[in-house]
Amino acid sequence: MGCANCQEQGGKWVHLRMCLTCGQVGCCDSSKSKHATRHYRDTGHPVMRSIEPGQTWMWCYIERASLAATAMWLARRGNAVCHPREGDLDDA
């Protein structure tokens, strides 16, 4: 398993992230191409999780926070997932 976009372009990745909306795997922001963030910008799918061995954290691009902080935000909104608001994708 790897970053499909990097594999197609002959690039390399540092770490991998998986979209919790559709399962797309992309490279992290430490990688040159930052495909996980690009996936968020292109699709609006806001939550990624690390798929690195031993890592269990998730990231919400909307709140720019780890899932632990995001879970509290979701509970306050009464949502089970992050949903982009108008303008959220503009400054990601």
Distances (CA, A) of 65 to 6, 11, 72, 74, 92: 26, 28, 11, 12, 12
Task: Identify the CATH number of the domain defined by range 4-77.
Answer: 3.30.40.10
Record the pTM: 0.73
Q: Is 21 exposed, middle or buried (0-12, 13-18, 19+ CB in 10 A)?
A: middle
Edge to edge, the sheet with strand 25-27 lists 25-27, 16-19, 47-50, 58-60, 65-66
Q: What is the CA radius of gyration of the chain?
A: 13
- pLDDT tens, N- to C-terminus, the chain (92 residues): 899 999 999 999 999 999 999 999 999 999 999 999 999 999 999 999 999 998 888 899 998 888 765 565 565 565 545 555 555 555 54
CB contact set of 77 (below 8 Å; sequence gap of 6+): none
